[in-house]
Amino acid sequence: MTFPFVIKACTVLFRVKFGILVHSYFYANAKCLRSAKLLFDGYLEEDVICWNSMIDVYVKAGEMELARLVFDKMPSRDVVSWNSVINGYGVVGSLDEAKKLFGQMPERNVVSWNSMLAWYVKCGCVEDAVKMFRHMPSRDVVSWNAMLACYAQNGKSNEALALFDEMKVAGVRANKATVVSVLSAIGRLGGLDQGLQLHQ
């Protein structure tokens, strides 16, 4: 295991913050919440990276009450702090809490928008997903794929194909996830020729 070597190197190089991140990552993956909390409590600097790491530990463990407690106590937050908690609420199915926090965000990036869009898609909230997608100030391939999947999974094949055409016009390069959703939509419509054309 490489963690002890990385942590020792951080100590030698006085990279305390990075060492704490490595520790937090290890504890999160090993589900050692108590140890992660002790490590976090022993770190006195008000560094947003360390606070975000602790939120991430709790989110990965499904401990949203604890994640929210850390979030609420943060001396300052960045977009990563907000995105982590919003995503955590989505993971545990608390979409209302995710929406509420999203609405309170002082600034959002494409990850923020994609996170909310993904949870609308997962919950089958097609209309909400469409509204979210259309209000996005910028979109990446993840955004387009989420919306394509939403249409394809909810039997809206024509809408999926129209969106795919829009995606091409916007100059967004398709990837494997795009092709899966589009082929699914084509399959529902029985468009063998379109499917072959896309496959080529």
Structural domain contains residue 195: yes
Structural domain contains residue 121: no
What pTM, to 2 d.p., does this model score? Answer: 0.75
pLDDT band at 195 (very low <50, low <70, confident <90, very high): very low
In this predicted model, what pLDDT tens digit does every residue of 137-170 receive, in sequence order? 999 999 999 999 999 999 999 999 999 999 999 9
- The domain tally of the chain equals 1
Whole-angstrom distance, CA of residue 91 vs CA of residue 94: 8
Tell me the percentage of the chain whose pLDDT exceeds 70.
Answer: 72
pLDDT on residue 159: 95
Structural domain contains residue 66: no
Structural domain contains residue 185: yes
Does position 173 have pLDDT exceeding 50, yes or no?
A: yes
Helices marked H in the chain: 3-12, 16-30, 33-41, 48-60, 64-73, 79-91, 95-104, 110-122, 126-135, 141-153, 157-169, 176-189, 192-199
Structural domain contains residue 150: yes
Does position 38 have pLDDT exceeding 70, yes or no?
A: no
For residue 180, what are the domain limits? 127-200
Structural domain contains residue 94: no
Structural domain contains residue 179: yes
